[in-house]
């Protein structure tokens, strides 16, 4: 009988603890959201929040053209602002793309946020397929 009484007595405490845990978790989420918002504000102020898609408008490789179009179409369909950098018309842009990618043989499309390399077409497509595009576009480094 004593065991039953203890269990009954513990139930309200468990419910109170559960409510406290849920409130604490909500506070953690709110704080994370505030921190994320502040981080985004800082990135925007520094001009590091712009998404750049490096492409080449002059290429005989049809698969490369398809990949470039898929990246641009995906960003546009999700209403994510971006800027296109065409390496075919700007030799320094090609060097910059390869330097920031840390790959001297890098080919477009390559995606950056400011000067932060986010990934190539395959990494972008994987994030899109796994519904992690926001995470992909906001990561702090490659």
Does residue 100 surpass a pLDDT of 90? Answer: yes
Give me the domain span that covers residue 25. Answer: 1-46
Confidence of residue 15 (pLDDT cuts 50, 70, 90): low
In this prediction, residue 139 carries a pLDDT of: 85
For the chain, the distance separating the N- and C-terminal CA atoms, rounded to the nearest angstrom, is 61
Same domain, 29 and 85: no
Q: pLDDT tens-digit profile of 22-66?
A: 555 555 555 545 655 666 666 566 556 899 999 999 999 999 999
* % pLDDT > 70, the chain: 66
Cross-strand bridge partners of residue 53: 84, 111
Q: pLDDT tens-digit profile of 113-136?
A: 999 999 999 999 999 999 999 999
Same domain, 71 and 4: no
In this prediction, residue 141 carries a pLDDT of: 74
Q: Cα–Cα distance between 54 and 28 in angstroms, integer?
A: 37
In this prediction, residue 142 carries a pLDDT of: 74
Answer yes or no: pTM beyond 0.75.
no
Same domain, 11 and 24: yes
Residues 6 or more apart from 101 whose CB is under 8 A from it? 110, 117, 120
Same domain, 82 and 65: yes
Q: Residue 54, class by beta-carbon neighbours within 10 Å (0-12 exposed, 13-18 middle, 19+ buried)?
A: buried
Same domain, 37 and 61: no
Structure tokens at 40: 């985004």
Q: What is the mean pLDDT of residues 89-110?
A: 96
Same domain, 83 and 128: yes
């Amino acid at each position: 009988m004593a065991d039953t009484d203890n269990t009954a007595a513990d139930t309200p405490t468990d419910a109170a603890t559960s409510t406290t845990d849920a409130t604490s978790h909500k506070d953690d989420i709110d704080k994370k959201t505030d921190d994320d918002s502040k981080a985004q504000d800082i990135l925007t102020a520094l001009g590091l929040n712009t998404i750049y898609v490096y492409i080449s408008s002059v290429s005989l490789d049809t698969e490369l053209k398809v990949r470039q179009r898929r990246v641009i179409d995906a960003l546009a369909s999700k209403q994510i602002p971006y800027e296109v950098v065409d390496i075919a018309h700007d030799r320094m842009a090609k060097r910059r793309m390869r330097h920031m990618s840390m790959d001297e043989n890098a080919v477009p499309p390559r995606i950056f946020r400011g000067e932060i390399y986010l990934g190539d077409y395959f990494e972008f497509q994987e994030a899109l397929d796994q519904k992690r595009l926001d995470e992909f576009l906001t990561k702090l480094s490659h």
